[in-house]
Structure 1
Amino acid sequence: MQVVSISSLKGGVGKTSVTMGLASAALAAGIPTLVVDLDPHADATTGLAVRPSGQTDIGRLLKNARRGDLAANTVPSGWVETAAKQSNAGAARLDVAIGSAYSGIYDRPDLGRRDQRRLAALLSRVEGYSLVLIDCPPSLNGLTRIAWTASNKVLLVAEPALFSVAGTERTMRALELFRREFAPELQTAGIVANRVRSTSNEHSFRLGEMKQMFGDLLLSPAIPDQANWQQIQGAAHSVHHWPGDSAQQSSGYFDELLKSVMDSGRMRSRGARR
C-alpha cells in the first residue's frame, strides 16, 4: 500500500485540487484508494461528494488512535456511483476518511513523537487499498508531520510564482530535516507545478527556475490552469467523468501524474542500484 502525502507550505496553490485529480485518476484506473482529509477545512471531503451517515471524522479517530477503527469509519465517495453509471459496470473503490475542524487540535508546532504516529497507527489496521492519498493542511505544523510519519512518499504542490517557489524550497529543506530525524525511509515523490498558464511570461520564467532548482524532482506534466475547474469542483464531480474536451485533457494530465507518483520510488531505487 502506497501512502502519499500531498503537501505545500503555502496555501492557495491547489493542493486539494491535485489530491482530487489524483483520486479521480485512481478511480478511472481501477486502483482501490483511500483519501484521508487531514486539512481542518475538509475541502476534499466536500469535493469528493461524501455523504456521512454517523461515521467518526479523522480528527476524533486520531484522538483515539490506539483503538480507533478507521476502516469502519470511511465513507464511499459519491464519484463511485457516477463512475459506475457511466461505465455500466462496477467502479473501483474510492473511500474517504472525512475531515473536520476537530483535527486542528493536532496542528501544533510542538507535537511530540507519540502524537506524530497517530495516523500511522490507524492506517496499520486498514486493508484493501493500493493507494492512500493524504490531503495535508498548508503548513508544516503537527498535522503535516502526522501525515509524513504515516507516508511512504511526499508530493509537493507549487504554482510557478515567486512566493510559492520559495515556499517549496523551504518545504524541501524541512522535509529533509524531518527525514533525518524521524523517517529515514520517507521519499520525495516529486514536485508538481499546478495552475500553469502557458501565456504567462512570469509562469514560463518560474518554471525554468524550478527546473534549475529542483531538477528531476519537478514532475511532468505540469497541470495547466483550467477554466472550468471551479465548476467541476463546485459540482463535486470527478474530472474524468466531466463532459468536454478540456476535462478530458485534464484527465490525461492527472493520469500521467498518478503514474509518475506511483512509479517514483521504484525509479529512484533502480537508479540507486546502478
Structure 2
Amino acid sequence: MRKHNAHAMTTTQTSSPSTGAAQLRSPGFLATIDAERIKFFTLKTGPIVTAVLGLFIVLAALLSSLSLISPSSNPNPQADPITSVTELRFVDTVLWMAIVFAVVSVLFATTEDSSGQIKLSFLATPKRVPVVLAKTIVIGMIGFAIGTIASALAMLVPLAVLSTSEVTYQFDLPEAATLAVASGIFMAMIGTVSLAFGLLVKNVIVAIAVPVLLFSILPSILESIGNGVVTTIVGFLPSVAGRVILTTFPNPAGLEAWPGMAVLVGWAALLVALACVVLRRRDA
C-alpha cells in the first residue's frame, strides 16, 4: 500500500509541472495572426470603413470615366479636349484613400491599449514582438488586398464606359497589373507605418493626427519653403516617396517609381522594428 501511495505521489508530482507548462505555453505565431485578424474584423468601424474606401476608389474611376463622355456644359475654351487617357488616371484616388486606411490602422493599434485589452494579448503571448508582427501582417494583408482589388476594378470599369466614346483608353494589361500591385503595396505600407506609430504613441488623437498631417498637409507646407535641402527631404517622406509610381508628379528628391516605393517600405520596416523595441520595454 505504501509503495502504491508513493508511486501515486510521484506520478502526481511529475505530471503537475508538465500540465502547468502546457497551460502557460503561448500560442503559435499563426494562431497569434489569426487572433489579430479576428480582432480587426470585430471592430465596429474598421472593416466597414475599409470596404467603403475600396468601393470609393472604384466609384471615383466610374465618375471620372463618365465625366470624359459627358463634358461640362461650361468648358474652358482654352483647354484642349481630352481624347486619350491611360490607366494612371483612374488610380490616383488610392493616394487619398490610403489616408483613410491610415486612420483605420491607427485605431486597430490603439483600441486595445485604450480599453486595456492589450494586457490580455500580452498574457496570451508574453513575448510582445510576435503580437506586433502579427498586427503588422494583418493590416498589411488587408491593405494590400483592398488596394490591389479596388485599383484593378477601377482600371477595368473605364473599359466598359469608354468603349463607345470618342475617348481612347490606352489600356495595357501588364501596366495595369503593375499599377494594381503598386497600389496594394502603397496601401499596405501606409497602413503599416500608421499602425507602428499608433503602437508607439498611446494617445489616440496624436496617433491619428500625426500620420494624417505627414501624409497630406506637411509635405506641401515644407515644399513651399523653397529651400533645396528641405525639398529633398520632402521627397523621402513616406507617402511622397511611395506615390511616385501612382502619379505623374515628379518626386522632389528625384526618386523613381520602385526606388521610391522601397523608401516607403524602409519607413514601415524601421517603425515596426522601433515599435517592437519600445513595447518590449514598456509596461502594458
Whose helix proportion is higher, 1 or 2?
2
TM-score by length of 2: 0.26
Q: Which has the larger radius of gyration?
A: 2
Highest RCO, 1 vs 2 (Cα 8 Å, sep ≥ 6): 1
